Amino acid sequence: MKTPVAIIGASGYSGEELVRILLSHPGVELTAVTSRQYTGQPLGQVFRKFANHPQARNLKFTDADPAALAKAARIVFLALPHGVAAEHAKPLLNNGCRVIDLSADFRLRDPAVYKEFYAHDHPAPELLKDAVYGLPEVYRDRIKSARLVASPGCYPTSILLPIMPLLKGRLIKATGIIADSLSGVSGAGRKAEMDFLFVECNESVRPYGIPKHRHLSEIEQEFSLAAGEEVIIQFSPHLIPINRGILSTLYVAPEQHFGSEAQRKELAEKITACYQAAYGNEPFVRMLEGAALPDTKNVAGTNIIEIAWRLDPRTGRLVVMSAEDNLVKGASGQAVQSMNLMCGLAETEGLLG
Amino acid sequence: MKTPVAIIGASGYSGEELVRILLSHPGVELTAVTSRQYTGQPLGQVFRKFANHPQARNLKFTDADPAALAKAARIVFLALPHGVAAEHAKPLLNNGCRVIDLSADFRLRDPAVYKEFYAHDHPAPELLKDAVYGLPEVYRDRIKSARLVASPGCYPTSILLPIMPLLKGRLIKATGIIADSLSGVSGAGRKAEMDFLFVECNESVRPYGIPKHRHLSEIEQEFSLAAGEEVIIQFSPHLIPINRGILSTLYVAPEQHFGSEAQRKELAEKITACYQAAYGNEPFVRMLEGAALPDTKNVAGTNIIEIAWRLDPRTGRLVVMSAEDNLVKGASGQAVQSMNLMCGLAETEGLLG
Amino acid sequence: MKTPVAIIGASGYSGEELVRILLSHPGVELTAVTSRQYTGQPLGQVFRKFANHPQARNLKFTDADPAALAKAARIVFLALPHGVAAEHAKPLLNNGCRVIDLSADFRLRDPAVYKEFYAHDHPAPELLKDAVYGLPEVYRDRIKSARLVASPGCYPTSILLPIMPLLKGRLIKATGIIADSLSGVSGAGRKAEMDFLFVECNESVRPYGIPKHRHLSEIEQEFSLAAGEEVIIQFSPHLIPINRGILSTLYVAPEQHFGSEAQRKELAEKITACYQAAYGNEPFVRMLEGAALPDTKNVAGTNIIEIAWRLDPRTGRLVVMSAEDNLVKGASGQAVQSMNLMCGLAETEGLLG
Amino acid sequence: MKTPVAIIGASGYSGEELVRILLSHPGVELTAVTSRQYTGQPLGQVFRKFANHPQARNLKFTDADPAALAKAARIVFLALPHGVAAEHAKPLLNNGCRVIDLSADFRLRDPAVYKEFYAHDHPAPELLKDAVYGLPEVYRDRIKSARLVASPGCYPTSILLPIMPLLKGRLIKATGIIADSLSGVSGAGRKAEMDFLFVECNESVRPYGIPKHRHLSEIEQEFSLAAGEEVIIQFSPHLIPINRGILSTLYVAPEQHFGSEAQRKELAEKITACYQAAYGNEPFVRMLEGAALPDTKNVAGTNIIEIAWRLDPRTGRLVVMSAEDNLVKGASGQAVQSMNLMCGLAETEGLLG
């Protein structure tokens, strides 16, 4: 029998992407979608692209009544702004649902850090101890039994996956890490703001949120856990005129010098082995070989993250690059990957299409 | 009387941009344009956008005969691939022309570095001593009297102008500099290659040439001259789906610690003063204030470079960002800026339109 | 057991899209892909986006040997240029394969019309009698048993489906039809030509092939069959800067006058009923209601065609608009729809993802 | 001495484009810019791209006080929504200013038509008799002495200029005209609406306002005047993902049959002669020759309209195509062209840059 699932806040870009994936997912049935704005309207009318999908025929947007949702669904996805998400999580958990939250509300272990970065008190600090950071490649086992998954942000995913194995393997220093990231405009959400009008984004590229973007907090938390020491990083997000995709270029310093060709070769082999051990069997991590470098167009619409790296003997640095779809591996696909784990399904179920 | 000028290789994107600027320039007359491919065809037929320009009526593409060009023009622009440019420069200089070369051929002082980065012997090493690096904000006086100007590349301009005053002012360390740059597709030139097809670039972002892009060589040369010591940098170019523009994000380390708020404030004042001294009167450098960050759309079609910076007390770094039009300040506009200096015209002549 | 299928010419945009659909198709197994250019290379290396797909692991590009393909596959897709396709079709049919050709080679019943529009003799006129025009909404039954399917072009699909029911129902005149169509750049194929460079297409829109584009021939053939008389239409294709999608705006004249509101209402009901009869049960035709008008972004990546229409009492015309993905419903998705019919599978199998 | 000019509503896309043109215009001085939203802020702060322009240094946004503006400027541009513009025009005219209105308020001669298309009573019907439709190629002499110029809309310009000479010359029928137009997103104005977000427009193309868009009214008015009889046309606007530009494809029926090659040739000569007579000396109309067809990228940023045409002997139709920049020839450039006429300046002054 298919597991019934629901989405709260299904009208934003992440919510819409969840709908797309879940409608075609063979292991679950999407039984409810909510949106304050569209309550009462058929899903296929609001998002015409789903109108012909057989599963979408009977779905109407409802309001987010936790008791009703708890009856309709075993797992509930929250695709809501931070602050709001936590408020919905509480009654759903109390009603016995398992919750996968795509907001930042449960990603940070320390409510003080939350307050520093999000500028308000944490709305449900008592739940933090139950939350599992939903990065399956790192926390697979804990996700399986979690009742509350904090699905990672789009930038953090693109930065954590390429670097965490190197940090854990002590191949790189925990200091001096720089993450320079480029995001498509869907990352800004479906909001009617001048800055995100077509004319303002097309033929434009710009940094923003420098030097202290909110996503820093969860990146540093996970890096610190991986390194076993406090890690402070430089993070520079930029907006580029594509719909979907994040490209991160990451600058790190290997622990080992590699001035000679022999040292370089030895280090390269260690890095290769490190990634092979971490990701050799991961279905959604694509380590690039040869001359290939990541490109968002090769991952758009998929749950894949592409990773490549180059040692630079001139500077003594290692440059790691990654590409992902910010709405799939950076949001909704990854959330479904966690759901698959929670339901005991194949991790790739519904995510290979 | 207007100075007669000519363009060799006027059919690429830089050449076309030179045509655009020079046709409307009040101080010069464009008397000849050459292109192997289009010899004999009227300019306005090959580039329809110039067809209605009164100055364009009598211009036909010719071949690049140096004697004929020397009769037709006092200043000749070379918008040619590296290697080819130097071969054209020699006879033109011998015929008494002054030459502004937009290729890399005369940018490097050391022919051995040229060979390392461009993979062939320098075609005219005897001319290197005469060449002036055509960055007016740095070499204004020498450009005025130069007979051979090596106009800088698009990436180098976007990296040198933001950083050189800081290096010269000893405000930052000469080590550990990282330049992460994003370029529009016109930077790849007008070449029929699959990688630059619309479908391959649209909805795509990708790094390339990592870790040793050719433009590194001239950046490091100029940084070394500014710092008074050898500078090695990390440079990561990326291709993004815009026609025009380069956005560079530059990571440097201030000499001075700024852990306390007082130290941060003091350092910020020094940086402000440094830029003010360097660029306070520069017509084409726009130092951004307040919350503003560079955006290529604000400089597209202009000869302006926008610069902003942020101190990050968390990491101890200074992040400097710049935006320019790769075809104007990054190529043809800057070349015309040099031409204005060489002709004794106002430096902004024909460049404020 | 899954039907084995193969693709000849799998490296163009249509071929790549066929690969994408067939790899995830539950009813078939993609056993061979050919490409002159990439022979010997693994599929996942040439098209990195397929590298992680379990089905792609063992696929390498081969050359297009008909005997080998006939052993490997029951159904062979031809994603080749016209002229070339017919040459491949013959030996495959002789070897017992069923063939779905995405080129124009078998779409026209009359080899003289082929010669008029494609400027060379038809390479295999003897096969024309066997070919079925692969528009499932029109020729479903004949496709089921066809051994040679001529899958329609992208423009024709976007024009035929909206208009054929009206012509057959005698609701509109067979004269004076105008089709004004806008295509994404993938319609031009994966070819290294200057006209399709990013910089030449971005911020550009242009008509081409006016007034006699090749696709006219198959549109007029099918309209003539539907109307029972010879139909001549006006067709104006344009290139717009999107990767995927065709939007067609179609101008036709209703047989019936509708000057009065009562007449307009009556006619509107007839049109509604006509489309309902034709497409009420079609899984891939979405008739829009209310204020909705077609938008390519709502069909990109899907096999759906969206259709809306408006009566204009001021001009006496009916304006019909459609949107489709030129690579899916306009090419590869439609070809797979035919394949499903040929294999006795559900027509939507593998096409709802 | 330079004529002082002002812009009311300088913060929209048309207003911004007016600022760009007027700042570099040698014959006028921009003395005032108004914007409710930005009152008190320096122009170069709101529109950073103007910050380095010497003329912009002393300009701050003010509110639109007519008495103050009448002191500051002889000519005032209104870049305001319809309805609002007329209210500003009255006091300015009363204070002795000449007014160039870029809205629709004074384009229609008949206030009843205005009410039909704009859904409210005309705010100043008494001024309509003074207004001159600001299409210089048609109403040059009347514009010179006008005190109120109603500058045409972007769609109408792209449709009127290609067709009016043919109508006036009785070369085409006044019935059955179809205009199919494609507009860049700046045509929608600088408004924070979901429909015009980058993600909603990129990779999207869609018709809108079909079948009765507001701009129909002024097109039909001018066509009727040209034809000497009432003209009703079909007009279909579409939104495409470019910043600037309109491409119109126009379907008309020649009066004369051209079934034979001799007739076709004769008619082609008449059309050529008709356009030559109308536009042979027009600086901003580019009649394309040979195989060339209009392309918005060749007119972006310029005041040029490109026109090409094709006779189709198969259908008996003439297809005329045009391309213009919707913000320049379709709005602000054309308004400045009128201003040049009003000031006795060369018509191309400030518009050839």
Q: List pLDDT tens digits, range A245-262.
A: 999 999 999 999 999 999
Whether C200 has its CB under 8 Å from any CB of chain B: the answer is yes
Whether D196 has its CB under 8 Å from any CB of chain C: the answer is no
Look at residue D1 in the predicted model and tell me its pLDDT: 82
DSSP H helical segments within B169-215, as ranges?
198-201
pTM metric for this prediction: 0.97
Is B288 in Cβ contact with D48 (below 8 Å)? yes
Q: What residue type is A342 in one-letter code?
A: M
Candidate from D178, D207, D210 with C-beta closest to C178: D178
**Confidence band, pLDDT 50/70/90 cuts, at residue A143:** very high
Whether D182 has its CB under 8 Å from any CB of chain C: the answer is yes
Catalytic residue among B97, B154, B201, B343: B154
Q: What is the distance in angstroms between the Cα of B262 and the nearest Cα belonging to chain C? A: 48
User: How far apart are alpha carbons C247 and C184 in whole angstroms?
Assistant: 9
Please give the ipTM for the structure prediction: 0.97
* C-beta of residue B152 within 8 angstroms of C-beta of residue B104: no
Look at residue D27 in the predicted model and tell me its pLDDT: 96
- Measure the N-to-C terminal CA separation of chain D; round to a whole number of Å: 21
Is D194 in Cβ contact with A192 (below 8 Å)? yes
Candidate from D185, D192, D198 with C-beta closest to A241: D198
3-state secondary structure of D252: strand
**C295 contacts in chain A (CB < 8 Å):** 48
Mean pLDDT, chain A, rounded, equals 96
In angstroms and rounded to an integer, the radius of gyration of the C-alpha atoms of chain B is 20
Is D286 in Cβ contact with B51 (below 8 Å)? yes
Whether B212 has its CB under 8 Å from any CB of chain A: the answer is yes
| Sheet bearing C317-324, strands edge to edge | C206-207, C234-239, C178-183, C246-252, C317-324, C305-312, C285-287
Look at residue A58 in the predicted model and tell me its pLDDT: 86
The answer on pLDDT for C241 being more than 90 is: yes
Candidate from C180, C210, C296 with C-beta closest to D310: C210
A68 burial class (0-12, 13-18, 19+ CB within 10 angstroms)? middle
The stretch C70-87 carries a mean pLDDT of 96
**Confidence band, pLDDT 50/70/90 cuts, at residue A186:** very high
Look at residue B189 in the predicted model and tell me its pLDDT: 95
Q: What is the distance in angstroms between the Cα of B298 and the nearest Cα belonging to chain C? A: 17
- Regions of chain B where pLDDT drops below 50: none
- Per the rule left: phi > 0, alpha: psi between -120 and 50, beta: everything else, B113 is alpha
Q: What is the distance in angstroms between the Cα of C320 and the nearest Cα belonging to chain D? A: 10
* C-beta of residue D192 within 8 angstroms of C-beta of residue A197: yes
The stretch A267-276 carries a mean pLDDT of 98
**Confidence band, pLDDT 50/70/90 cuts, at residue A56:** confident
* C-beta of residue B335 within 8 angstroms of C-beta of residue B77: yes
Task: List the structure tokens of D31.
Answer: 């003395």
The stretch D188-215 carries a mean pLDDT of 97
Q: What is the largest CA-CA distance in chain B?
A: 68
Whether C126 has its CB under 8 Å from any CB of chain A: the answer is no
Q: What is the distance in angstroms between the Cα of B181 and the nearest Cα belonging to chain A? A: 10
- In a mutagenesis test of the D interface, which of A13, A35, A193, A199 is the best target, namely the one with the most D β-carbons within 10 Å? A199
Phi, psi of B233 (to 5 degrees): -125, 165
Is C353 in Cβ contact with A24 (below 8 Å)? yes
Phi, psi of C206 (to 5 degrees): -155, 140
Whether B193 has its CB under 8 Å from any CB of chain C: the answer is yes
Is D197 in Cβ contact with A197 (below 8 Å)? yes
The answer on pLDDT for C353 being more than 80 is: no
Chain B: touching chains (3 or more CB pairs < 8 Å): A, C, D
- In a mutagenesis test of the C interface, which of B199, B242, B244, B296 is the best target, namely the one with the most C β-carbons within 10 Å? B199
User: Which residues of C are catalytically annotated?
Assistant: 154
Whether D175 has its CB under 8 Å from any CB of chain C: the answer is no
**B309 contacts in chain A (CB < 8 Å):** none
Instruction: Report how far apart, in Å, the C-alpha atoms of A28 and of each of A13, A349, B212 are.
Output: 21, 10, 49
Whether A249 has its CB under 8 Å from any CB of chain B: the answer is yes
Q: Which helix (H) or strand (E) holds A157?
A: helix A154-168
B347: number of Cβ within 10 Å: 18
Look at residue A52 in the predicted model and tell me its pLDDT: 86
B177: nearest Cα among B281, B116, B252: B252
Task: List the structure tokens of B241.
Answer: 């789906």
Whether A281 has its CB under 8 Å from any CB of chain C: the answer is no
Whether D309 has its CB under 8 Å from any CB of chain B: the answer is no
* C-beta of residue B21 within 8 angstroms of C-beta of residue B350: yes
- Is B343 one of the annotated active-site residues of the chain? no
**C206 contacts in chain B (CB < 8 Å):** none
C12: nearest Cα among A24, A82, A196, B199: B199
Look at residue C335 in the predicted model and tell me its pLDDT: 98
pLDDT digits (tens, 9 = 90+) for C119-141: 999 999 999 999 999 999 999 99
Whether C321 has its CB under 8 Å from any CB of chain D: the answer is yes
Distance of CA A255 to the CA centre of its chain: 28
Q: What residue type is A303 in one-letter code?
A: N
Distance of CA C261 to the CA centre of its chain: 37
Look at residue B56 in the predicted model and tell me its pLDDT: 87
**B296 contacts in chain C (CB < 8 Å):** none
C177-205 burial by CB neighbour count: b if 16+ within 10 A, else e? bbbbbbbbbbbbebeeeebbbbbbbbbbb
User: How far apart are alpha carbons A55 and B326 in whole angstroms?
Assistant: 50
Is A198 in Cβ contact with D196 (below 8 Å)? yes
Q: What is the distance in angstroms between the Cα of D103 and the nearest Cα belonging to chain C? A: 25
Instruction: Report how far apart, in Å, the C-alpha atoms of C317 and of each of B203, C344, D242, D254 are.
Output: 38, 41, 29, 20
3-state secondary structure of C246: strand
- In a mutagenesis test of the B interface, which of A185, A202, A203 is the best target, namely the one with the most B β-carbons within 10 Å? A203
Q: What is the distance in angstroms between the Cα of D210 and the nearest Cα belonging to chain C? A: 7
Distance of CA A33 to the CA centre of its chain: 21
Task: List the structure tokens of D1.
Answer: 């001495």
Whether D53 has its CB under 8 Å from any CB of chain B: the answer is yes
Instruction: Report how far apart, in Å, the C-alpha atoms of B339 and of each of B74, B88, B148, D203 are.
Output: 11, 18, 11, 42
**Confidence band, pLDDT 50/70/90 cuts, at residue C54:** confident
* C-beta of residue C319 within 8 angstroms of C-beta of residue D211: yes
The stretch A290-302 carries a mean pLDDT of 97
Mean pLDDT, chain D, rounded, equals 96
Task: List the structure tokens of C253.
Answer: 């004249």
Candidate from B186, B198, B203 with C-beta closest to C201: B198
Taking CA–CA distances from B233, the nearest residue in chain A reads: A315
Whether D201 has its CB under 8 Å from any CB of chain A: the answer is yes
Chain D: touching chains (3 or more CB pairs < 8 Å): A, B, C
Is C24 in Cβ contact with A48 (below 8 Å)? no
Beta strands of chain D (E only): which ranges?
3-8, 28-34, 61-62, 75-78, 98-101, 131-133, 148-150, 178-183, 206-207, 234-239, 246-252, 285-287, 305-312, 317-324
* C-beta of residue B160 within 8 angstroms of C-beta of residue B217: no
Look at residue D251 in the predicted model and tell me its pLDDT: 98
The answer on pLDDT for C2 being more than 80 is: yes
**B323 contacts in chain A (CB < 8 Å):** 205-206
Task: List the structure tokens of B277.
Answer: 């001294």
Taking CA–CA distances from B198, the nearest residue in chain C reads: C198
User: How far apart are alpha carbons D175 and A145 in whole angstroms?
Assistant: 72
Whether B200 has its CB under 8 Å from any CB of chain C: the answer is yes
**B175 contacts in chain A (CB < 8 Å):** none
